[in-house]
């Protein structure tokens, strides 16, 4: 099912034939630079299944981003229920991940903006969060471009204290 369309992108359900591109993206050291590690194929399969289960349970999740021009999946964007304890949880996060060769071309901003418009009309969210390590300035710029406001910094509770990536920025938008 197609959920969202933009001039260059279609955000839709995942298909099984999307999995190889998904797994390849998650194993790319450049893509996963701001995450604790790259994902092995089995870990990508688990994440792929979790995305599907989230769709079934909540009616939203991380949508596959298909390039209209190339007719291929170039990443994902969408929503996820935050699954760790923090002073801003429970809550919903907006997230995105793109193939490395698609970075810096405006796809993340285009997809995330479209997701927020979709959420305003179709989903019952009052607010949406986004967060990333303080080192990930590209994602932080996307947060700013889509109208989110920085509300704090925090140490991610799923990373060991003192870990290079543990310090995160937190952004929020009211819908």
Domains contained in the chain, CATH given: 2-124 (3.40.630.30)
Of 63-67, 76-80, 148-152, 160-164, the least confident: 160-164
Q: Which percentage of the chain shows pLDDT scores above 70? A: 100
Distance CA 163, CA 170 (A): 17
**Bridge-partner residues for 94, per DSSP?**
79
Identify the pLDDT of residue 1: 80
How would residue 42 be classed by pLDDT, with cut points 50, 70 and 90? Answer: very high
Return the closest-CA partner of residue 79 out of 42, 112, 102: 112
User: What average pLDDT does range 60-65 have in this prediction?
Assistant: 98
CB 138 within 8 A of CB 125: no
Residue 101: how many other CB atoms lie within 10 Å: 11
User: What average pLDDT does range 23-46 have in this prediction?
Assistant: 98
Identify the pLDDT of residue 58: 96
Q: Indicate the average pLDDT of the chain.
A: 97
**Residue 2 predicted with pLDDT over 80:** no
Please give the structure tokens belonging to residue 52: 């599907």
Q: Which percentage of the chain shows pLDDT scores above 90? A: 97
User: What average pLDDT does range 41-65 have in this prediction?
Assistant: 97
The upper half-sphere exposure of residue 81, i.e. CA atoms within 13 Å in the direction of its Cβ, equals 12
pLDDT in tens, 132-147: 999 999 999 999 999 9
pTM of the full structure: 0.95
**Residue 3 predicted with pLDDT over 90:** no
């Amino acid at each position: 099912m197609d959920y969202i369309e933009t001039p260059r992108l279609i955000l839709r359900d995942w298909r099984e034939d999307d999995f190889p591109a998904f797994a390849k993206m998650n194993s790319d050291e450049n893509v996963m630079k701001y995450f604790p590690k790259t994902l092995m194929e089995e870990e990508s399969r688990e994440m792929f299944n979790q995305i599907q289960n989230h769709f079934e349970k909540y009616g939203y999740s991380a949508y596959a981003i298909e390039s209209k021009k190339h007719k291929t999946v170039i990443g994902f964007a969408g929503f996820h229920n935050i699954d760790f304890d923090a002073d801003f949880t429970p809550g919903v996060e907006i997230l995105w991940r793109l193939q490395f060769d698609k970075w810096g071309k405006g796809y993340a901003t285009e997809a995330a903006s479209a997701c927020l418009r979709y959420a305003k009309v179709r989903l019952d969210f009052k607010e949406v969060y986004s967060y990333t390590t303080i080192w990930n300035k590209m994602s932080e710029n996307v947060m700013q471009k889509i109208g989110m406001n920085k509300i704090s910094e925090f140490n991610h509770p799923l990373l060991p204290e003192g870990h290079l990536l543990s310090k995160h920025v937190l952004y929020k938008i009211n819908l």
